[in-house]
Amino acid sequence: MMLEELLQQLQAISSDAVASLNAADSDAAIEAVKNRTLGRSGAITALSPQMGQLPKEDKRAAGLAFNEAKTAIQKALNDAKAKLAASEAASAPAVDVTLPGRAWPIGRKHPISQTIDECCDIFRRMGFIAVSGPELETVWYNFDALNAPLNHPSRDPQDTFYLPDGRLLRTQTSPVQIRTMLGNKPPVRIVSPGRCYRRDTPDATHGVHFHQLEGLYIDKNVSMADLRSTILKFATEFFGPDVRIRMRPSFFPFTEPSVECDFSCVCCGGKGCRVCKNSGWLEIMGAGMVNPAVLRNAGYDPEELQGFAFGFGLERLTMLKHRINDLRIFSDNDLRFLKQF
Ligand code: PHE
């Protein structure tokens, strides 16, 4: 082989290798180029014996050309490896396991929801199950079945939101009593928390919507004493062991007799303060023995069954527990307020 030819071949091998390496996109491709050029049975290696055949004066030039070709291929190999490593690093997610974790803001339950949960827990421990009912009610469930006289002021459109089709937004959770009795055989022991609507002018203690919790217990031989002990147990579980309760005669169409149940003031312990208007007592709930007419409307025999019902506002309970003096703050959705619970 003449020098001329050797140089051409070296040139061809090296430029082919450099071109392949520039296009290589995997370790295997790079390795293959290396093997077929610089490897033990590679093209460059195979050419080196040719050097010995050359005339003496050509050997120097040939040696230089070999070195040049090897250096060019080696440089292209290194560049290709570096390029591949860089692109792998760029596409892999950069995870630094030594960084401290990111704290995601965790939401929490609204204070009213917390009160609902707490009340339902307390009553569940006494054997009551929690049920819900529709907020959109018929006049029959909200008033008629509950024995409300036709001229009862709460039926007035001034006080109740009616829909054009005659239905209404429930003004109390008591219609759930009727729905539960109609759908279940006695005994019945339920609580039903939920939203109610009244056409009040909003102020610090009234809103157009608010939450009530209704309780109903129907069985044979249920008495006022059971009502009293159930409410007392609830009061002490919710506000603490020192709370006392008292009952005053009252009137509701759906209970007879009816009572208004007061709790001893949770702010002053009953001594008298601004919250209880110096009376030592807080009006908390309405209650009573279910009116026989209501039992009959629900298909129960009042000769055989009795029961008690009670209902209270959850905003008021939450306000007393957390010493909040304006219920509008519950629907402002101000995070500075909500984060405190
Ligand atoms: N539903 C009554 C109200 O809204 C409260 C109540 C419930 C009273 C159950 C007695 C029995 O005022």
- Taking only the tens place, the pLDDT of each residue in 221-268 is 999 999 999 999 999 999 999 999 999 999 999 999 999 999 999 999
The alpha carbon of 26 is separated from its chain's Cα centroid by a whole number of angstroms, namely 47
Say how many Å lie between the CA of residue 286 and the centre of ligand 1. Answer: 5
Output phi, psi for 307, to 5 deg: -175, 170
The alpha carbon of 186 is separated from its chain's Cα centroid by a whole number of angstroms, namely 35
Nearest CA owner, ligand 1 atom 7: 311
Ligand 1 atom with the smallest distance to the CA of 196 is 4
Ligand 1 atom with the smallest distance to the CA of 308 is 11
Choosing from 152, 154, 172, 294 the residue with most ligand 1 atoms within 8 A of its CB, the one to mutate for a pocket test is 172
Q: What is the pLDDT of residues 48-107, one digit of tens each?
A: 888 788 888 888 888 888 888 888 888 888 888 888 888 877 777 778 888 888 888 888
3-state secondary structure 145-172: HHCCCCCCHHHCCCCCCECCCCCEECCC
Residue 33 pLDDT > 80: yes
Residue 323 pLDDT > 80: yes
**How much of the chain, in percent, has pLDDT values that exceed 70?**
100
Say how many Å lie between the CA of residue 327 and the centre of ligand 1. Answer: 20
Nearest CA owner, ligand 1 atom 5: 311
Question: Tokens 């490897």 appear where?
Answer: 39
Residue bearing the bigger pLDDT, 206 or 293 = 293
Nearest to 34 by CA among 14, 50, 54: 14
Per-residue pLDDT at 82: 86
Ligand 1 atom with the smallest distance to the CA of 286 is 8
Per-residue pLDDT at 59: 82
Say how many Å lie between the CA of residue 253 and the centre of ligand 1. Answer: 9
| Ligand 1 cavity residues, CB under 6 Å | 172, 174, 214, 252, 255, 286-288, 309-311
Is the Cα dihedral 199, 197, 279, 330 positive or negative?
A: negative
Residue 166 pLDDT > 80: yes
CATH fold for the domain made of 111-338? BirA Bifunctional Protein; domain 2 (3.30.930)
CB count, 10 Å around CB of 191? 25
Give the lowest-confidence range in 35-44, 178-187, 225-234, 280-289. 35-44
Per-residue pLDDT at 292: 97
Instruction: Indicate left, alpha or beta for 330 from its phi (over 0: left) and psi (-120 to 50: alpha).
Output: alpha
